[in-house]
Homo-oligomer: A and B are copies of this chain.
Amino acid sequence: MSARSHAKVLALSGGVGGAKLAAGLDGILHPGGLTVLVNTGDDFEHLALHVSPDIDSVVYALSGRNDIERGWGRADETWQFMGALRELAGDDWFSLGDRDLAMHVLRTQALRQGEALSALTARAAAALGIRSQVVPMTDAPVRTLVHTDEGALAFQEYFVRRKCVPRVTGLCFEGVQRAMAPSAVLALLRDPALAAVVLCPSNPFLSIDPILAVPGLRDALSACEAPVVAVSPIIGGAAVKGPTAKILRELGHEVSPAAIAEHYAGLLDGIVIDEEDRDLRARIAIATCVTRTLMTRTDERASLARSVLDFAATLRDTPAVRGGCKQMRQA
A residues lining the B interface (CB < 8 Å): 47-49, 74, 77-78, 80-85, 87-90, 97-103, 105-106, 108-109, 112-113, 123-124, 127-128
Contacts and interface: CB of A to CB of B under 8 A. Distances in A.
Given A47-B109, A89-B127, A105-B48, A99 B84 contact: yes
> Which secondary structure dominates where chain A touches chain B?
helix
A6 to B, nearest CB: 29
Contact of A112 (B48, B77, B83, B123): B48
Given A78-B80, A87-B102, 13 more contacts: A49-B105, A78-B78, A80-B98, A81-B101, A83-B99, A85-B105, A85-B106, A88-B106, A88-B124, A88-B127, A90-B102, A90-B105, A98-B101
Nearest to A74: B84
B84 A101 contact: yes
Contacts of A83: 99
Contacts of A123: 89
17 contacts: A48-B108, A48-B112, A48-B113, A78-B78, A81-B98, A81-B99, A81-B101, A81-B102, A84-B101, A88-B102, A88-B127, A89-B123, A89-B127, A90-B105, A90-B106, A98-B101, A101-B101
Contacts of A82: 102
Contacts of A103: 84, 88
Given A78-B80, A98-B80, A87 B127 contact: yes
A107 to B, nearest CB: 10
Contacts of A106: 47, 85, 88, 90
Contacts of A99: 80-81, 83-84
Contacts of A108: 48
Nearest to A46: B109
Query: Which 4 pairs between the two chains have the least Cβ-Cβ distance?
Result: A84-B102, A80-B98, A48-B109, A84-B99
Contacts of A105: 47-49, 81, 85, 90
Contacts of A74: 84
A87 B97 CA distance: 15
B84 A81 contact: no
Given A48-B108, A106-B47, A106-B90, A98 B78 contact: yes
Contact of A98 (B47, B90, B98, B109): B98
Contacts of A47: 105-106, 109
A89 to B, nearest CB: 4
B112 A84 contact: no
Query: Which of A48, A101, A112: most chain B CB closer than 10 A?
Result: A48
